[in-house]
Amino acid sequence: MAKERSGADDPARTLELLWREPGHDGPRRGPKQGLTVDGVVEAAVELADSGGLDALTMRSVAQRLGVTPMTLYTYVPGKAELLDLMLDAAYLRMPRTDQQGAPWRTRVEAVARENRDLYRRHPWVATLPTTRPALGPGLMAKYEHELAAFDGLGLDDVEMDAALTFLLGFVHSVARADLDTQATARDSALSDAQWWAANAPLLARVFDPARFPLAARVGNAAGAAHQGMYSPEHAFDFGLRRVLDGLAHLVASRSPSRA
C-alpha cells in the first residue's frame, strides 16, 4: 500500500480546491443540501484527530457526514486531494503569535512552539510526508509568518529559508519521537516506568556496569531524571536551545550587533 502523503494527487485540481473563491464551495444540489468542501475537510480532520490516518477513508468521511461516498466525490475527487485540503486547513488555523519588536530568539522560539502545538492538536500532521506540499493559502500564510522571525537579521533569502527549514526539521523530529513513545506505551499497555520496572531484574542479571561504566552511569542519571528512557519535554527544550545557539552563530556572522 502506498504511503499517505501530501502532494500525491493532481496538482492542478488540488490548487483549484485550495484557492477556491468564497461562495464557490462545491455542488449545491444532491442528497445532502448545504454540504461544502469546508464541511468535508472539517469532518475528515475530526476523524484523523481521533483515530489517525488509518481511520480516514472516503467512506468513513461520507458516513460521518451522512452521505454516500459517491456524493462525497462530487466535492473532493479523492483521498489524496482531501489530505492536501486537511493539511492546509490545519496550517491556516494555526494560532500565530504577534512577535513584532521582540528579540529574534523570542520570535524563532515562538515559531518552534507554534509548530509543536500544531502536532499536538493534530498528531497525524507529523506522520504525513510533505516533500511536495500543496501550495495553498494555509501553507503560504504559515511560511510568510515564520519567515518574518528571521527577517532583518542580515541573512540572505536562501539562508532565511534554510534556517526556517532547519528549525522546523528539529520540531518535526521531536514530534515524531513523541508519537513513537506514545504508540509504544499504548501498544504495550505499559508506561516507560512500568516497562523498566518489569524488566529491571533481567537487565540486572545480564548487564555488567564494570564493562560499560559510562553507559551505566549516564543511563542511570538520565533514566532517573526522565523517569524513563526518553522525555519529549526535555528533548524539545534542550534541542531548541541548541538550535537557537547554532543560529546565533550564523546571525552574529552577518550582523555582530544582533548576536
Model confidence over 45-58: pLDDT tens digits?
999 999 999 999 99
Distance CA 69, CA 241 (A): 48
122 and 76: one domain?
no
According to DSSP, residue 36 is labeled -
Under DSSP, the state recorded for 256 is: G
Structural domain count, the chain: 2
Q: How far apart are CA 83 and CA 6, in angstroms?
A: 6
pLDDT for 200 beyond 90: no
pLDDT computed for residue 2 by the predictor? 43
Supply the pLDDT for residue 159: 97
Same domain, yes or no: 212 and 85: no
Per-residue pLDDT, 8: 58
- Domain of 79, in residue numbers: 11-92
Span 198-208, average pLDDT: 76
Residues 77 and 127 placed together within one structural domain of the fold: no
Q: Which of 60, 92, 124 is the last residue of a domain?
A: 92
How far is 223 from 193, CA to CA, in rounded Å?
9
**pLDDT tens across 129-177, in order?**
877 778 899 999 999 999 999 999 999 999 999 999 999 999 999 999 9
Q: Grid coordinates standing for 54?
A: 488509518
Is 6 part of any domain?
no
| Angstrom distance (rounded) from CA 236 to CA 256 | 27
My answer on whether 127 and 205 are in the same domain is yes
Encode pLDDT of 70-83 as tens digits: 999 999 999 999 99
Per mean pLDDT, which range of 43-52, 85-94, 182-191 is the poorest?
Answer: 182-191
Q: Locate 230 and state its grid cell.
A: 526518553
In a domain, 4, yes or no: no
Q: Of how many residues is the chain composed?
A: 259
pTM exceeds 0.85 for this model: no
Position 124 in a domain: yes
- pLDDT given for residue 1 in this prediction: 35
**Statement to judge: residues 144 and 173 lie in one domain:** yes
What is the pLDDT confidence band of residue 207, given thresholds at 50, 70 and 90? confident
Q: In this structure, what CATH number is given to the domain that contains residue 166?
A: 1.10.357.10
The continuous run of DSSP H or E covering 118 comes out as helix 104-121
233 backbone dihedrals φ, ψ, rounded to 5°: -65, -45
